[in-house]
Homo-oligomer: A and B are copies of this chain.
Amino acid sequence: MVSIKDVAKHAGVAISTVSKVLNNYPNISEATRKKVNQAVEELNFVPNSVAAALSSKRAGRVALMIDLNVKTQAIDEMAMRYISGAITKAMELNLDVTTIFVFMFQDKTADELIRYLQSQSITGIIIYGVAEDDLVLQELILREKFKCVVVDADHSGSSTSSITIDQQQAQYEVAKKMLEESPGKKILYISGDEHSYVTESRLKGMERLAREMQLKLTVEYANFSESRAREITLQKGAGADAIVCASDLMAIGARNALKEMGKNKPVCGFDGISLMAYVGQGMYTIRQNFSEISACAMEELQRLMNGMEGRTVEVGYTLEKLSYTTSIC
């Protein structure tokens, strides 16, 4: 294994000089910079990021905290898109990334999690979709031991940023669009879980629309479960003119229920998962660009690690109507 020492010897300079060139320090003459870079090329040297992380607490490594506990199709897909966006951006930014799956810490305390992260020399983390009742993650964020970017939640603080689309507006728009195309007054709104930022924001958007269009809104919670949405629809869907769902998966459940009931009513979803292309033809949904969101999160994390203050960032989305051709890849 070729180390920085070999490079230094090969270039005829000191180890620290090589280090400075590698990390783009100022105050290095163009001549030695060239020499060092050439030696790096010739020796095919790649710095050992493990050693670097150990040596400097500053540059730190970043962890992606993914929750793939929920065994539904949709979660898998969203997680994958988040991961790919984050990693791509991290390579661009030259950051060292580690993926951490939260199911590994099911029965652990926040302290244990923190110590684990520290033991991995991690100083920055991106958390995807923290539930408001996930005490461990909540504590992890509040303790501010790490620079932290939270996706799809509301958590900005001095060392914490949050990033999300405008959930409320998006829910408002997709429902409005559907209702303009297929008018109706009695709306069944199938929401997610009761204590999540995402769910609450979407609900607010729907309530705003209800006020504006003078709709009669019935709200039910299906916990993002397809089968639960199906049951709710079977029970309460008969009287509704249309069904608005807070996720695509629930929209699929609702639509299946309607089919079983022999009825055909407008249904709209949220997220833009690819499963919709298979079974959601004709439905409206909000397509989130998960990998872009994740890339933004990584950039934001870098800002934090450079000492900037935490803040809230908003990214865009697309209102979309699905046709079968979407699924042909």
Chain B residues lying within 8 Å of A104, measured Cβ to Cβ, are 87-88, 91
A99 to B84, CA, bound (A): 12
Note all chain B residues with C-beta closer than 8 A to A227.
Answer: 327-329
The yes or no answer to A125 lying at the interface (CB within 8 A) is no
Complex alpha-carbon distance, A104 and B96, angstroms: 13
| Chain B residues positioned under 8 Å from A83 (CB to CB) | 68, 101
Known: A54-B51, A275-B73. A118 touches B329 (CB 8 A): no
Q: Point out the residues of chain B lying under 8 angstroms from A328, CB to CB.
A: 226-227
- A45-95 residues at the B interface, CB under 8 angstroms: 46-51, 53-54, 68, 71-73, 76-77, 79-80, 83-84, 87-88, 91
Chain A contact-residue range equals 35 or more
* Chain A residues numbered 152-179 whose CB sits less than 8 Å from any CB in chain B: none
Cα separation A91 to B80 with both chains bound (whole Å) = 22
Contact at B98–A98, with CB atoms within 8 Å? Answer: yes
B101 touches A274 (CB 8 A): no
Cβ proximity bits A200-233 to B, threshold 8 Å, 1 near / 0 not = 0000000000000000000000000111000000
Residues 298-329 of A contacting B (Cβ, < 8 Å): 327-329
Min CB distance, A123 to chain B, in Å? 11
A68 touches B84 (CB 8 A): yes
- Within 89-138 of A, Cβ neighbours of B (below 8 Å) are at 91, 98-99, 101, 103-104, 111-112, 115-116, 118-121
Q: A140 contacts the other chain (Cβ, under 8 Å)?
A: no
A1 within 8 A of B: yes
Please determine whether A46 and B84 come into contact, CB atoms closer than 8 angstroms: no
Q: Is the CB of B119 within 8 A of A47?
A: yes
Q: Is the CB of A46 within 8 A of B278?
A: no
**Cα distance A80–B87 when bound, in Å?**
16
A109 to B231, CA, bound (A): 53
- Let me know if B103 and A84 touch, CB within 8 A: yes
Q: 17 pairs across A/B with beta carbons < 8 Å?
A: A46-B112, A48-B119, A49-B119, A50-B50, A50-B121, A54-B54, A68-B83, A73-B278, A76-B76, A80-B80, A83-B101, A87-B104, A98-B98, A99-B99, A252-B278, A278-B279, A279-B279
